[in-house]
Amino acid sequence: MPKAYWINTFRSITDEEKLAAYIELAGPAMRAAGGTFLARGLPAYAFESGIVERTTLIEFDSVDAAVAAYHSPAYQEALRALGDGAERDLRIIEAVPAA
């Protein structure tokens, strides 16, 4: 089964305190669900229609594991802490099978 990648971009952040509360809860929730943080922060560069916005890339063992992490009680608590503090775009994609 191919790995999966959780890509989370923050289109806008309107409340830094809510974001900090989210980060405090979301990191442990992702790691407890088997996620490995591969990258986090602002892009070094953005090309074409790219926007410099906070981005997180997390690896999971499978799409099912990533989706389960999203629906986990711990991550849902993090989302409640974030509330309306940010507008985000979250995608889960399956890795390309090894050749």
- For residue 99, being part of any structural domain is answered with no
- What value does the mean pLDDT of the chain take? 95
Q: Range of 23's domain?
A: 4-45+54-94
Domain count across the chain: 1
**Domain holding 86: CATH number?**
3.30.70.100
* Long-range contacts of the stretch 72-77 (C-beta < 8 A, 24+): 72/29, 72/32, 72/33, 74/25, 74/28, 74/29, 74/32, 74/33, 75/25, 75/26, 75/29, 75/30, 75/33, 77/25, 77/29
- For residue 19, being part of any structural domain is answered with yes
Per residue in 3-12, pLDDT tens? 999 999 999 9
- For residue 85, being part of any structural domain is answered with yes
Q: What is the pLDDT along the chain (99 residues), one digit of tens a residue?
A: 899 999 999 999 999 999 999 999 999 999 999 999 999 999 999 999 989 999 999 999 999 999 999 999 999 999 999 999 999 999 999 999 877
Specify the pTM: 0.91
